Each structure stands twice: as C-alpha cells, then as structure tokens.
Amino acid sequence: MKEVNLAIYQKYLELIYYTNDLVRKFPKSERFSLVQEIKHSLYQGLRCLMYAIKTYQKNDKIKYLNELDISLNLLKIQLRLSYKYQYISMQNYSTWSAKITDICNMLGGWISTCLKK
C-alpha cells in the first residue's frame, strides 16, 4: 500500500509544479480570484492526501480521500473555466486534465481498496 501512496503523492506534486507554472501566465485581473481558488483547491487536496497517508483509521482515511476527490473535482471545474476564458491553450488543457485524471484514477483505486477491508 505504501507504494501506491507514494506514487499518488509524486503525481500530485507534479500536478502542483505544472499548475504553478501555468497560473503564472494568467492575467493580473485573475490573480486574486481564479488563480487563488485554483491554488486553494490544489493545496487543500495536498493536505487531505497527506492526512490520508498518515492516518491508520479506516473511516478517517476514507473521509480524507473523499475530501481529496472533492478538491480534484473543483480543480477540474476551474481548469475548464481557465480554458473557456482562454487563459490556457488546448495543449495546456489536455496535459493538465491528463494529470488530474491520472490522480483521480489512482485515488479511485485507493478508495475501493479501503472499502474492501
């Protein structure tokens, strides 16, 4: 189980690096609104991931994993908004979306593993 946790953690860090590179290119008018919301969702998700990795109680772990799932869903919506308002290109959109989808798939597997126990 530790390898899965570390793999999802590494993927999440890559997502943070990529996201921070992208949001620097957003217009100044969005720095205190959309960019701030994106970063909040991103770091809230990281916090939940770290709690889930450190927690040994099954119910707490599932709670944090579900909160991470919510943060990722919010991030997807913010990603769509960024593309709709043309703050990012189609290439950025597809790369960013693929990174989020990879994490969501790993998260889904982790949640189902926790529910089976």
**What pLDDT is recorded for position 3?**
61
Structure tokens at 103: 């994490």
Residue 75 neighbours by CB under 8 Å, 6+ apart:
38, 41, 42, 45, 100
pLDDT tens for 15-35 read: 999 999 999 999 999 888 999
Amino acid identity for residue 69 in this structure: D
Identify whether the C-beta of residue 104 lies closer than 8 Å to the C-beta of residue 49.
no
pLDDT tens for 84-109 read: 999 999 999 999 999 999 999 999 99
- The DSSP 8-state label assigned to residue 87 in this structure reads S
Residue 12 neighbours by CB under 8 Å, 6+ apart:
45, 46, 49, 103
Q: Which domains does the chain possess?
A: 2-116 (1.20.1440.60)
pTM for the complete prediction?
A: 0.90
